A and B are shown apart, each in its own frame.
Chain A
Amino acid sequence: MGKPLIETSKVSKVYRMGDVEVHALREVSLTISEGESVAVMGPSGSGKSTLMNILGCLDRPSSGGYWLAGEEVSQLDRNALARMRNRTLGFVFQSFNLLSRTSALENVELPLLYAGVSARERHTRAREALTRVGLGERMHHHPNQMSGGQQQRVAVARALVTRPRLIVADEPTGNLDSRTSIEIMALFQELGRSGITLLLVTHESDIARYASRVVVMRDGRVQSDEQQTPLQAELGPAPAGAEVSP
């Protein structure tokens, strides 16, 4: 394994709901090395979403330290966090979260827009990313003209386009049928082979099997943390034509 990409030290998150303090995370210390694919599992309320939000620089911990790619991010302000999300991270969500009425190409260009990349380079890089996820032929389609699997591929391309070191995927297969889920996991494994670290939040153990490490959360603590030999997702036929809408 490579050097650590993510390091947390006693990260806690406390929400205040009226008079009640809710401890979503209790002193979680976790180290994830570059190139790992980590599945975070756990029942709802276990704190896995909170952990993902903090590791994904969407939220700040109440206490504890968090180093991402060697930078202490737990105390950064909103602008700096946005910069971190833009440069170092890519997100893939359960509900795809693409901009509707905007072409696949423009959706993928979006992060580059905020990175201040020139129009020409944006275009080239977005095309590359879409080709990489097997959607080279459909870059001018709008999300509502695509199947769920294709939309999630666009989302993966959008996460990829900034050449991030970490992809955070929140239930990426939650809205997909099992065949399409395997295709998306195959795509993630392929990205993993090129050195991108994957943080996968899921409650499906089937999906967690494709990861090289499984972290199980319970009551805001890490209950178990085990390495495993990942199951190889079988690549389907030519991805662009392979989508079968249910």
Chain B
Amino acid sequence: MSWLQVLRVAVRALLRNKMRSFLTTLGVIIGVSAVIAMVAIGEGAKARVEESFASMGSNLLVVLSGTTTASGAHGGFGSMPTLTWDDLKAIRSEASAVRYASPQLRSTQQVISDDQNWATSINGVSPEYFPMRSWSAAMGSLITQSDIEAGSKVVVLGQTVVDKLYGSNADPTGHSVRIMKIPFQIIGVLARKGQSATGQDYDDAVFVPYTTFRAKIQGGLQKFIAGSIMVGAASGDATVRAQSQITNLLRDRHHIALGADDDFSIRNLAEMANAQQEGVKTLTTLLASIAAVSLIVGGIGIMNIMLVSVTERTREIGIRMAVGARPRDVLSQFLVEALALSSAGGIIGILLGLLAANRLAANFGWPILIRYDIIAIAVGFSGLVGVVFGLYPAQKASRLDPIDALRYE
């Protein structure tokens, strides 16, 4: 008997009990669609995390000042400036794994245009800050080295600030805003970057030359940096090397004895990204395994119905054996039936899973990512479920004694 013929016989047998076949398949349908939808959600979340870390900038390290210890109470990192402007220069010139380094001085101030105002974070940075965070100008230009040297009163606005002060899609370059009563000329607007992984709006910020920041916005100690140093490593692999180079350099420069604590700290944003991705991965695995369990439950449903079917059709099996069906023929017939049930469930499950993922994306704004390899695995697995759970009933059928089977009422 050809396989096509076996399949035809199986499909006909299944169509005789349409409702039952459908209900049996439902288990697998739910299993497969759950796998696909769950993995799509998990992968979508992972992709969003990756994206937000990528938008933050790649291969970033943040060097923070040390802590204060006053009367036994420890302040947090950055509470006591320990990083000097000479440290910044040294990092730029001596740490070979470092490509960019920029100070980041930060203060929250009111930014006032002709008829609007908005409180936002004012950042004093150097020109290296923008390539380090792969941030480009949407309009106008960015801060240049000559702006730094001249201490120009120029400002680059984030998109959110533009939206608040001038309305969306406006081009404010050439206009002036006042920050702490000092007029700054708007030289550019940054491209929209969106939210960070924690929901912070990157675009709600303005940038001025750090020299201007020090002179006009927040003066401080001449020697120390009243903020942090942001460092861009030369490559993804270089971040760890950059971290140790900076550590050694700063310990040396700050004359920290062997065994004593650092008076600064370095945060590796790539490591944070990895940690967060690990979390998402765990979530994806969890969702996928729940879905896989439901697929197995679906397989048990198939096994159950196939067992009922074998009992019901004992006489048919007897007839087939009497006219010359070999045990192998009976086995393959029932196996193909189970396989047809589970594969049909798999195919319907794919469609339903894709649909569910799309509805979730559309209705709840969840990011989804369809993984075609997962679809292939889910279908393969549902087929496997059919074979595994169909095998026992099929064997039971093939081992029937034709005489008993013919006599079965």
User: Interface residues, chain A, CB within 8 Å of chain B?
Assistant: 53, 58-59, 78-79, 82-83, 85-87, 91, 93, 97-99, 101, 110-111, 113-116, 158, 162
In the assembled complex, which residues on chain B have CB atoms less than 8 Å from the CB atom of A85? Answer: 321-324
- Assuming A79-B328, A82-B326, A114-B326, is B321 touching A59 (CB within 8 A)? no
Give A165 Cβ to nearest chain B Cβ, in Å: 14
Question: Are B328 and A86 neighbours in the complex by a CB distance under 8 Å?
Answer: no
- How many angstroms from the CA of A114 to the CA of B329 in the assembled complex? 8
In the assembled complex, which residues on chain A have CB atoms less than 8 Å from the CB atom of B403? Answer: 53, 58-59
Question: Are B326 and A110 neighbours in the complex by a CB distance under 8 Å?
Answer: no
Give B312 Cβ to nearest chain A Cβ, in Å: 12
Which 8 pairs from chain A and chain B are nearest by CB? A86-B324, A111-B323, A82-B326, A114-B324, A79-B326, A97-B319, A85-B324, A91-B322
In the assembled complex, which residues on chain B have CB atoms less than 8 Å from the CB atom of A162? Answer: 324
* Majority secondary structure of chain A interface residues (helix, strand, loop or mixed): helix
- How many angstroms from the CA of A158 to the CA of B325 in the assembled complex? 14
Residue of B nearest to A59 (CB): B403
A-B contacts besides A58-B403, A97-B318, A110-B323, 12 pairs, CB < 8 Å: A58-B406, A82-B324, A82-B326, A85-B322, A85-B324, A91-B323, A93-B406, A99-B316, A99-B319, A110-B319, A114-B324, A114-B326
- How many angstroms from the CA of A116 to the CA of B3 in the assembled complex? 11
Question: Are B5 and A113 neighbours in the complex by a CB distance under 8 Å?
Answer: yes
Question: Are A158 and B323 neighbours in the complex by a CB distance under 8 Å?
Answer: yes
Interface string of B384-406 (1 = CB under 8 A from A): 00000000000000000011001
In the assembled complex, which residues on chain A have CB atoms less than 8 Å from the CB atom of B323? Answer: 85-86, 91, 110-111, 114, 158
Give B320 Cβ to nearest chain A Cβ, in Å: 7
- Assuming A58-B403, A97-B406, is B319 touching A78 (CB within 8 A)? no
> Total A-B residue pairs with C-beta atoms closer than 8 Å?
58
Within 8 A of A (CB), among B326-359: 326-329
Question: Are A97 and B327 neighbours in the complex by a CB distance under 8 Å?
Answer: no
In the assembled complex, which residues on chain B have CB atoms less than 8 Å from the CB atom of A82? Answer: 321, 324-327, 329
Question: Are B326 and A78 neighbours in the complex by a CB distance under 8 Å?
Answer: yes
Question: Are B326 and A113 neighbours in the complex by a CB distance under 8 Å?
Answer: no
Give me 12 A-to-B residue pairs in the complex whose CB atoms sit less than 8 angstroms apart, sorted by A's number.
A78-B327, A82-B325, A82-B327, A82-B329, A83-B326, A87-B324, A91-B322, A97-B318, A98-B319, A114-B320, A115-B324, A162-B324
Give B32 Cβ to nearest chain A Cβ, in Å: 31
Give A91 Cβ to nearest chain B Cβ, in Å: 5
Question: Are A58 and B326 neighbours in the complex by a CB distance under 8 Å?
Answer: no
Give B378 Cβ to nearest chain A Cβ, in Å: 34
In the assembled complex, which residues on chain B have CB atoms less than 8 Å from the CB atom of A114? Answer: 1, 320, 323-326, 329
Residue of A nearest to B2 (CB): A116
